[in-house]
Structures are given as C-alpha cells and as structure tokens.
Amino acid sequence: MGKFSFGPYGSFSGKLGNIVSYLWRGINVNRIRPRKSSKKATEPQLASRKKFSMAQKFVAPLKDYVSVAFHPETRGQARIPQNAASKLFRQHAIYGEYPDFQVDWSKVMMSKGRLSVPADTSVSLQGNVLTFNWKSDLGNRRQSKTDQVMMVAYFPDTLSAEFDVCGAMRYTGTDTLEIWPQDKDRVAETYLAFISYDRQEVSDSVYCGQVVL
C-alpha cells in the first residue's frame, strides 16, 4: 500500500504495484521491485558478491569512525561515508582469484582527503596501550598544528576495531590508543590519519604496520 504525501501526483512512500518508494537522506527515491532470477549466477557475479560481503564485514565495526573520516569525501553527495569506505576497500585492498580472495592490509584506506598525510610514522605496544608517533612539518601549507590525529587498531581475526577520531594535535607528534584484546597473540593492523579542527577536511590514512598483541 502506497502513501502519497503531496496529493495524487506527488511523492509517496511504501509499495504501489511493482514500485517501492522511500525517503533517503531527504530525497524521495522510487524503485521497481526486483524480480528473482532463475538463472544461475556467473563467476564474475559471485566474485563481486563476495567482495561486497567482505567489504561490508570490514566496515561494520568502523561505522562510527568512517562516519567522521569519510564525511568530507561524501559531503554534498547522495552516497554515505560507509559506502565510500567500502568501495575503497573493494578496489584497493582485496586481491587474488575467486573464491580465495585475500586482504592486503597495507592498502586499506581508513580515510581519504586533501590534508598532508602523517610522515615517519611508527607504533609500539606496551601493556594494552598502543603508542603512535609521527613527524610534523608545520611549514607545509596543507597542514595546521591544530589538525587532530585519528588512530585505528583493526583486528581481522575478530572483525573488531578500536579507534579515536579526536586525538592529539598534529604538532605534538605522538598519541596513545588503549585497546582491550580478549586473547593473546591477536594481530592488530594499525593506521593514522589527520582531521582538521573544524572536522571538514581529512588526510589520506597511513598504514603504520602490524602489531602482535
């Protein structure tokens, strides 16, 4: 059953025949209901579906992070930050042949933007605290001393993550991220990026390496 909001020729929400209408990010969207196909999926279709599934599982524990990190990349667009992060993961981080896809964690993009990227990064672990270090070049016009660091520790074995989107300012050169591993010998893939103080610009992320907990 469909519901017209602005008279018989205006927008509506719900189902009307084979048309589904809904409001998405302030835009009225109309779609034709898909029909189930009796044809067997081709290998390229199966490969695409698997990559999409892998990307969705990757982004799930990072939803609150990517909402901030990919806000500048998707500002003014119909797509949402999670979709932008998922697309970059599929394009750059997944490799191999179907069905044996693998992930190159050094190519994962945790943010994408115009600010200057962190330089000379390193990460170390003491107890349950990761210490991130970087070199700041305040003579670079694409950075400001008030840019703030964003840190991520991603755990592939459990599809979970710890992160901070509002860390220390760029000029400090260091910050810490507290993590709570449930088991020993877990692996954390670590990343750094910067976000402007007004939250409107970010840098590309930098892979800081793998840490065995």
* Percent of the chain topping pLDDT 90: 68
The number of domains in the chain is: 2
Query: How much is the average pLDDT of 164-180?
Result: 95
Q: Indicate whether 88 belongs to any domain.
A: yes
pLDDT reading at 172 higher than 50: yes
How would you list the strands of the sheet with 174-178, edge to edge? 119-126, 129-135, 174-178
Same domain, 153 and 192: yes
More confident residue, 118 or 175: 175
Residue 171 in domain: yes
Asked if residue 44 has a cis previous peptide bond (ω within 30° of 0), the answer is no
Whether pLDDT at 90 is above 60: yes
Is the pLDDT at 141 greater than 90? The verdict is no
Mention every residue, 6+ apart, whose C-beta is less than 8 A from residue 84: 66, 70, 73, 74, 112
Report percent pLDDT > 70 for the chain.
78
Whether residue 53 lies inside any domain: the answer is: yes
Average pLDDT over residues 105-120: 94
User: In this structure, is residue 17 part of a structural domain?
Assistant: yes
Looking at every residue in the chain, the average pLDDT score rounds to: 87
Q: What is the pLDDT of residue 1?
A: 47
pLDDT of residue 64: 97
Pair 108, 30 in one domain: no
Q: Is residue 2 part of a domain?
A: no
Structure tokens of 16?
């009307």
Looking at the predicted structure, is the pLDDT value of residue 26 above 70? no
Both tokens assigned to 102 = 């693998």
pLDDT class of 136 with cuts at 50, 70, 90: confident
Domain of residue 91: give its range. 44-212
